[in-house]
Amino acid sequence: MSMGDIRIVKNLSQEFIRFAIESQVLVFGEFKTKAGRQSPYFFNAGLFNDGVRLARLGHFYARALVDSGAAFDMLFGPAYKGIPLVASIVVALSSMGINVPFAFNRKEAKDHGEGGVTVGALLKGRVFIVDDVISAGTSVRESVEIIQRNGAHPAGVLIALDRQERGGGELSAVQEVRRDFGLDVFSIATLEDLLMHIQESPQFRQYVSAVQAYRMTYGV
Tell me the pLDDT tens digit for each residue of 24-83.
999 999 999 888 899 999 999 999 999 999 999 999 999 999 999 999 999 999 999 999
> What are the C-alpha distances in Å from 181 to residues 22, 50, 146?
35, 34, 14
Q: What is the chain's alpha carbon radius of gyration, rounded to the nearest angstrom?
A: 17
**Domain total for the chain?**
1
Contact (Cβ atoms closer than 8 angstroms) between residue 70 and residue 6: no
Contact (Cβ atoms closer than 8 angstroms) between residue 140 and residue 157: yes
- Domain with residue 186: its CATH number is 3.40.50.2020
Q: Is 32 a catalytic residue?
A: no
Backbone angles phi, psi at 98, to 5 degrees: -120, 110
Contact (Cβ atoms closer than 8 angstroms) between residue 31 and residue 38: yes
Q: 32, 110, 124, 153: which is the annotated catalytic residue? A: 110
pTM of the model: 0.91
Q: Is 112 a catalytic residue?
A: yes
Q: How far apart are the C-alpha atoms of 3 and 182, rounded to whole Å?
A: 9
**Can you give the pLDDT at residue 83?**
96
Q: 112, 124, 153, 197: which is the annotated catalytic residue? A: 112
Range of the domain at 198: 5-218
